[in-house]
């Protein structure tokens, strides 16, 4: 079965519930360039991805080739999703794909999507219909035709039709031909002072709107350097502005997320509550190390330890998972005193049925180390399972305090690019919640550099060039983030950024997710008031 699914105008939250369910279940996904990046995060890990997107000036796959791919994949008997920006049947060539499937006898289902022709003007406060100004709206392709004065059917062209209608005209895919479209509207009787709005990257990072009239809009768009995809709205309604005021301090702010799925979801909910939009750009996956076998040996001799400390929620999750796998009786831990680095780890420990004996006032590994040096008695020993990238400063403080401990690096955190990294250049702020997140982000960018995949995101990089291990030259982190604010969860993360030559703009006083997002909201609230 092949499912033709409309992805909507770009914001992943605007896909239908039904469409999202099929995306989560599919075996193969065939997707376009526009409005689909974040939705790819929802597919199964073993889902096959086939990119058939088109870009101005070049075609990765032509439409007949796409049709052939759909037929070929549909014959395999797997669950196939054809994900298309907007709605499949609104200038999406969905009809051609359905025809190919019908001729091949392959079962299919079309799941509608929200068309950009309505949604994009709407998010910018422009209704396509409104009592007193527009009783109808018309959606028109802006693609160039050989003879602009004739329709493909030989009758009146779209512009002659518009002249005889009342309502709003919405042109899709017409940015490159904006002057010609405006000229043709005047030729067919439109008033030069008719309002026009051009909306770029609607519902996506980098959304912009330029307003004018038929006479002035082309010059204004050129001056503003508006980029595609863009839609053109013509008519009295284009002058309306029904945007909702005071939607929160993060209204129109696009936030890039670096972290594990659990942390990203927690941040996403908090960002949404403040009116912002979030995009997962780097996934930090937790990978266990061979050193975990040392932990198993330590647990077999757990009576040698008096304290057990956790510096991350990941460690807690893995620790108790392995206890169950190794069939270790939790009652063997009864004599231990438990220490955690902050509120998040404290709550994660509580979920496992344990109450922390010590939580530092300042939620940092350095504060945890200083606190343990003060509360631990002579002769007591600390068991410290943690990440490979754990703070060396913490160990130095423990050494200086005369604390006996065994440190075991039980997991590593590895960065993986996510499709939404394509939006990188349009983000307003990027969040980092750990030093490993900083490292993972840089590793992903370095890999993008090798593959030339990041070159189009940079304004000042003309070509990929030869790769070097150094961060010097044209590929410093600031080449990517020169116009992006940085939010760091705490001092450790802040110092990790400083080591690569970058300054965190936003650092909360308390190192947890709630305070981080709140600090981002406060930052943009102050910025908007200035």
C-beta atoms surrounding 109 within 10 Å: 11
CA distances from 65 to 30, 70, 132, 228 (A): 12, 9, 47, 24
**Alpha carbons within 13 A on the beta-carbon side of 230:** 24
Judge whether 104 and 75 are in contact, CB under 8 Å: yes
Q: How far apart are the first and last CA of the chain?
A: 55
SS3 content of the chain, % helix, strand, coil (to 5): 40, 20, 40
Instruction: Give the separation between CA 431 and CA 508, rounded to whole angstroms.
Output: 12
DSSP 97: H
* Cα–Cα nearest to 207, from 270, 125, 273: 125
C-beta atoms surrounding 179 within 10 Å: 13
Distance of CA 306 to the CA centre of its chain: 43
Instruction: Give the separation between CA 220 and CA 213, rounded to whole angstroms.
Output: 10
Residues 6+ apart with CB under 8 A from 327: none
Instruction: Give the separation between CA 180 and CA 159, rounded to whole angstroms.
Output: 12
Catalytic residue among 11, 173, 376, 394: 173
Helix axes 94-104 and 63-74, enclosed angle (nearest 10): 40
Judge whether 358 and 380 are in contact, CB under 8 Å: no
Phi/psi of residue 347, each to 5°?
Answer: -70, -40
Q: Where are the alpha helices (DSSP H) in 131-226?
A: 158-163, 178-187, 217-224
Strand 168-172 with 230-234, pairing:
antiparallel
Burial class (CB in 10 A: 0-12, 13-18, 19+), 107: exposed
Output the CA angle 249-250-256, nearest 5 degrees.
155
> 32 an active-site residue?
yes
The partner residues of 210 in beta bridges, in order of sequence, read: 198
> 1 an active-site residue?
no
Catalytic residue among 1, 27, 42, 54: 54
Q: What is the DSSP secondary-structure string of 363-408?
A: -SHHHHHHHHHHHPPTT-EEEEEEETT--HHHHHHHHHTT-EEEEE
Instruction: Give the separation between CA 485 and CA 108, rounded to whole angstroms.
Output: 45
Catalytic residue among 11, 32, 157, 283: 32
Instruction: Give the separation between CA 232 and CA 209, rounded to whole angstroms.
Output: 10
C-beta atoms surrounding 60 within 10 Å: 13
> 173 an active-site residue?
yes
Catalytic residues: 32, 54, 173
């Amino acid at each position: 079965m092949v499912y033709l699914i409309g992805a909507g105008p770009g914001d992943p939250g605007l896909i239908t519930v039904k469409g999202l369910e099929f995306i989560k279940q599919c075996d193969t996904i065939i997707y376009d360039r526009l409005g689909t990046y974040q939705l790819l995060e929802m597919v199964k890990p073993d889902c096959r991805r086939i990119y058939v997107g088109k870009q101005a000036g070049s075609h990765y796959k032509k439409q007949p080739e796409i049709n052939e791919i759909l037929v070929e994949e549909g014959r395999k008997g797997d669950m196939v999703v054809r994900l298309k920006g907007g709605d499949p049947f609104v200038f999406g060539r969905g009809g051609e794909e359905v025809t190919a499937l019908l001729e091949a006898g392959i079962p299919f289902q079309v799941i509608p999507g929200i068309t950009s022709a309505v949604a994009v003007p709407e998010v910018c406060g422009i209704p396509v219909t409104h009592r007193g100004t527009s009783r109808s709206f018309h959606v028109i392709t802006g693609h160039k035709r050989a003879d602009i004065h004739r329709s493909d059917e030989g009758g009146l062209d779209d512009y002659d039709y518009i002249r005889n209608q009342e309502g709003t005209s919405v042109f899709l895919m017409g940015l490159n031909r904006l002057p010609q479209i405006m000229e043709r509207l005047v030729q067919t009787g439109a008033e030069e002072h008719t309002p026009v709005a051009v909306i770029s990257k609607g519902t996506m990072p980098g959304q912009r709107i330029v307003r004018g009239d038929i006479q002035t809009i082309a010059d204004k768009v050129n001056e503003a350097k508006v980029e595609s995809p863009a839609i053109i709205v013509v008519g009295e309604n284009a002058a309306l502005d029904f945007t909702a005021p005071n939607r929160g301090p993060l209204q129109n702010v696009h936030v890039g997320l670096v972290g594990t799925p659990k942390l990203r979801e927690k941040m996403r909910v908090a960002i949404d509550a403040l009116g912002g939009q979030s995009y997962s750009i780097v996934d930090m996956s937790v990978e266990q190390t061979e050193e975990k076998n040392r932990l198993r040996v330590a647990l077999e001799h757990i009576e040698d330890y008096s304290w057990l400390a956790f510096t991350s929620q990941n460690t807690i999750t893995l620790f108790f998972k392995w206890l169950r796998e190794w069939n270790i009786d939790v009652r063997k831990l009864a004599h231990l005193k438990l220490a955690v680095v902050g509120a998040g780890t404290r709550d994660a420990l509580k979920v496992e049925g344990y109450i922390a004996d010590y939580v530092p006032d300042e939620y940092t590994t350095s504060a945890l180390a200083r606190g343990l040096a003060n509360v631990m008695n002579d002769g007591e020993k600390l068991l410290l399972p943690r990440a490979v990238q754990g703070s060396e400063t913490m160990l130095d403080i423990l050494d200086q305090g005369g604390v006996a401990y065994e440190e075991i690096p039980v997991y590593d955190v590895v960065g993986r690019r996510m499709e939404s990294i394509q939006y990188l250049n349009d983000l307003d702020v990027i969040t980092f919640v750990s030093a490993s997140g900083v490292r993972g982000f840089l590793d992903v960018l370095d890999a993008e550099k090798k593959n030339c995949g990041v070159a189009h995101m940079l304004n000042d990089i003309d070509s990929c060039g030869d790769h070097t291990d150094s961060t010097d030259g044209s590929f410093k982190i600031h080449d990517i983030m020169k116009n992006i604010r940085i939010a760091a969860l705490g001092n450790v993360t802040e110092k990790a950024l400083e080591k690569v030559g970058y300054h965190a703009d936003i650092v909360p006083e308390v190192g947890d997710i709630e305070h981080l997002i709140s600090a981002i909201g406060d930052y943009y609230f102050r910025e908007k008031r200035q």
